[in-house]
Amino acid sequence: MIKIVKRDEPSRAIFFFTPVLAIFLTLVAGGLIFYILGFKPFEALKFFFIVPIADKYGFSELLLKATPLCLIAIGLSFCFKSNNWNIGAEGQLTFGAIVSGGVALLFYEQEGFYILPIVILAGAIGGMLYASIPAILKTYFNTNEILVSLMLVYVSKLILDYLVVGPWSNPEGFNFPETRQFSDSARLPLLFEGLRIHAGIFLALAAVVMSWFIFYKTYLGFQMKVSGFSLKTAKYAGYKGKKMIILVFLISGACAGLAGVGEITGPIGQLHREVSPDYGFTAIIVAFLGRLHPVGIIFASLVVAITYLGAETAQIFMQIPKYTGQVFQGMILFFLLASDYLLFFKFKFIGSNK
């Protein structure tokens, strides 16, 4: 007989083990889905998870996709740790891209070392501005931040669409929905000849270090974590709850905005309709899979980035629909949440240990 018992306190070892378990279970379930769809499971999984990163180019693509995911997830970890449900990072990314893209267009055909920093800063500010809307509405009007941040995603994509089709569209562009190319000074430099990986990865790494420092070395980080555990305790301790909410939203908006900058000033170098393949939503999964821990998020962003690449490779080589990537992402989160059960409960074999 097996009995399920509640643990006295959550297990620390299992806390870091469950993400690995979740990935393993996702692979098993994924293989099963491939089998049902009529593909050879092992071959499909190989095309999905190994072939895409087997060479130098593939590895560069992996880092390219992992960069925005890591950056956004780091920002979201601030929100989620303090119990603020910002699920509109996709909108903050888009708005950051719009603002930085607009600034980059102002410097059209101009060169100068000062341009890139201004463009990057503009993206961060754009993301912050956009994130401040749900934050302010939550703190001063008691409005649900989940719904507001999500509605703003749709609005931001429509603003972008309006701009690239209308006033900002390239005058010599034969009515394609895209802007003019940014000048070289407004672009994040590529790191290696022939590869698409760009300097944006340093922004992500800086964000990782910054978040680690704030969470583990400052009083502010401690306050954020306490507010996440219990708002009452935080109030009792005299923390400024409202300021905290706005602050975490601004940090997370800035990170998402920077991810937007990377998407448009990196390999593409112009604004167009689809600045992000839902990185803002996928980063939510990355944040959870990384256990809201800076280092965990780095690993998680690499794992989840493979689902983007794998979906493309599997589509080309095996005609597996590319949406399988999203299915995998949803499953990872399902399995992760499910295996959290082991954090709080354990199986006890009755008879052996009484």
Contact residues: another protein, CB under 8 A? 6, 85, 87, 137, 141-144, 146-148, 150-152, 154-155, 158-159, 161-162, 165-166, 281-282, 284-285, 288, 321, 323-331, 333-334, 337-338, 340-341, 344
**Beta carbon nearer to another protein, 290 or 325:** 325
**Beta carbon nearer to another protein, 60 or 84:** 84
**Beta carbon nearer to another protein, 185 or 315:** 315
**What is the rounded distance in angstroms from the CA atom of residue 298 to the CA atom of residue 70?**
6
What does the block give as tokens for 296? 């965990």
CB of 5 to another protein, least distance (A): 9
CB of 218 to another protein, least distance (A): 27
Alpha-carbon torsion, ordered 175, 155, 271, 162, to 10 deg? 20
CB of 4 to another protein, least distance (A): 10
**Beta carbon nearer to another protein, 183 or 276:** 276
CB of 280 to another protein, least distance (A): 12
What does the block give as tokens for 10? 């959550």
CB of 253 to another protein, least distance (A): 16
CB of 339 to another protein, least distance (A): 9
Rg (CA), the chain: 22
What does the block give as tokens for 207? 């964000």
**Beta carbon nearer to another protein, 126 or 280:** 280
**Beta carbon nearer to another protein, 158 or 206:** 158
